[in-house]
Amino acid sequence: MDFVEKIRRIIKMRHDDVVVAMTSGGVDNMEKYQYMLGQIRTYQYLLQEISTLLKTKEQNDSEGTIISIKGKDSPTK
């Protein structure tokens, strides 16, 4: 989990860097604006995907991964 947290921290830091650059006047043309906006969206998408994957893993860990294929009425031997 340390690896995942480091990746999340790096992505968040890069996201924040682009946001600061955009809001502090670092955009001088429309192409650069569009590029930076694409970067922000990509970083947000990556963070969301990581969160979704972690939630799925947490759900599987708490519920277990064994699925019973016996019916309720089937006798056990």
Residue 63 lies in a domain: no
pLDDT tens digit sequence for 1-25: 789 999 999 999 999 999 999 999 8
Q: Note the pTM of the prediction, 2 decimals.
A: 0.68
Residue 66 lies in a domain: no
pLDDT tens digit sequence for 43-63: 999 999 999 998 876 555 555
Q: Which residues, 6 or more positions from 43, have their beta carbon under 8 angstroms from its beta carbon?
A: 11, 12, 14, 15, 18
Residue 21 lies in a domain: yes
Residue 25 lies in a domain: yes
The number of domains in the chain is: 1
Residue 69 lies in a domain: no
Residue 72 lies in a domain: no
Q: Which amino acid is at 32?
A: K
Task: Determine the Cα–Cα distance for residues 18 and 45; give it in Å rounded to an integer.
Answer: 15
Q: Which residue range is the domain that position 49 belongs to? A: 2-58
Task: Determine the Cα–Cα distance for residues 47 and 61; give it in Å rounded to an integer.
Answer: 21
Residue 38 lies in a domain: yes
| Cβ count within 10 A of residue 43 | 20
